[in-house]
């Protein structure tokens, strides 16, 4: 089982908050963390310096500059994690591990190799996170529709996507620059996305865990001194996501006229987390 302290460090690295253990009710739930990760990336691309989030207040987006040089959209994420923001600049989020995680569904993929085995979620290929350890999030029965069908394996389930801290609109630009190495030129659909004036206005993720790993967050644990990679494993609404680059990049578009409240609601309706993934770097 992954140590709880390490899990909270991973959540801190992803969110930009100082996530601390609480014995009371959790201040934030799993959905809040995928919201924050997605919104931080989106609003950085929009040129904002602050993100307002319920119960946390104003969150600085300028601190993210230590993670990635946003002036160079073609560069890969840094191999090593830069120093975290000063503690006073990071809002505190308190989490009760007992109601935030669902540890009976944890799964260790560290030594698993699927090879030619194929898996499906929502009638779409599911590429399991081989090489990673998954800490399950407590999301069963947490949504208004009262059903966990989205979390299942049947045709009505939502497909699986992976969310990394550096997955924003520049991801397709990175693929475009390296398209030959990625297996050929972009298809017409992806090309049309790059030609539109709204290119980049959206929440990005991928069904390909190998691609997500290239754009993931890394952090050095203060509890054991090791460096880890971290991702969120999500389900994404098949009706809201758009497919680009041969099913390797998915985007949920955000209309130009959406307010921050509407944008947060759109993320919450479109992307649902169910696993925190950790891997030694």
Dihedral of CA 27/36/32/21: which sign? negative
Which residue range forms the structural domain that includes residue 274?
4-280
| Cα distance between residue 248 and residue 146, in whole Å | 30
Contact between 190 and 197 under an 8 Å Cβ cutoff? The reply is no
Q: Which residues pair with 169 in a beta bridge?
A: none
How confident is the model at residue 70, as a pLDDT? 29
pLDDT by 10-residue block (mean), the chain, 281 residues: 95 94 95 95 88 91 50 37 54 96 97 95 95 97 88 94 76 48 41 45 91 92 95 96 77 92 96 97 94
- Tokens describing residue 115: 């090879």
Q: Report helix, strand or coil for 235.
A: strand
E strands within the chain?
Answer: 18-21, 50-53, 57-60, 92-95, 107-108, 120-121, 124-125, 133-136, 160-163, 202-205, 217-220, 227-236, 241-244, 249-253, 271-280
Q: What share of the chain is helix, strand, coil (3-state, %, to 5)?
A: 30, 25, 45
Describe the crossing of helices 30-45 and 4-15 by its angle, rounded to 10 degrees: 30
Q: Which residues pair with 251 in a beta bridge?
A: 204, 242
278, 176, 152: which is closest to 219 by C-alpha? Answer: 278
The token pair that represents 36 in the structure block? 């924050």
Calpha distance 22→93 (Å, rounded): 9
Q: What is the pLDDT of residue 90?
A: 85
Token couple for 199: 């290119």
Q: By the 8 A CB rule, do 280 and 226 touch?
A: yes
């Amino acid at each position: 089982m992954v140590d709880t302290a390490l899990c909270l460090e991973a959540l801190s690295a992803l969110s930009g908050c100082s996530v601390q253990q609480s014995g009371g009710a959790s201040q934030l739930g799993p959905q809040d963390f995928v919201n924050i990760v997605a919104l931080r990336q989106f609003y950085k691309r929009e040129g904002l310096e602050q993100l307002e989030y319920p119960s946390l207040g104003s969150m600085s987006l300028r601190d993210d500059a230590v993670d990635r040089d946003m002036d160079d959209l073609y560069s890969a994420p840094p191999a090593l994690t830069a120093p975290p923001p000063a503690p006073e600049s990071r809002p505190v989020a308190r989490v009760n591990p007992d109601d935030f995680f669902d540890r009976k569904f944890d799964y260790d993929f560290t030594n698993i190799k699927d090879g030619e085995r194929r898996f499906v979620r929502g009638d779409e290929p599911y590429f399991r996170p081989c090489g990673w350890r998954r800490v399950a999030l407590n999301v069963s029965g947490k949504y208004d529709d009262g059903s966990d069908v989205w979390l299942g394996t049947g045709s009505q389930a939502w497909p699986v996507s992976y969310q990394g801290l550096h997955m924003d609109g520049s991801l397709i630009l990175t693929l475009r620059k390296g398209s030959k190495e990625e297996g050929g030129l972009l298809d017409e659909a992806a090309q049309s996305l790059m030609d539109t004036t709204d290119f980049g206005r959206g929440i990005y993720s991928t069904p390909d865990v190998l691609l997500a790993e290239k754009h993931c967050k890394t952090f050095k644990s203060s509890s054991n001194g090791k460096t880890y990679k971290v991702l969120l494993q999500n389900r994404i609404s098949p009706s809201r996501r758009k497919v680009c680059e041969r099913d390797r990049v998915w985007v949920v578009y955000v209309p130009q006229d959406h307010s921050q409240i509407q944008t947060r609601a759109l993320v919450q309706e479109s992307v649902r987390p169910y696993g925190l993934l950790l891997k030694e770097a």
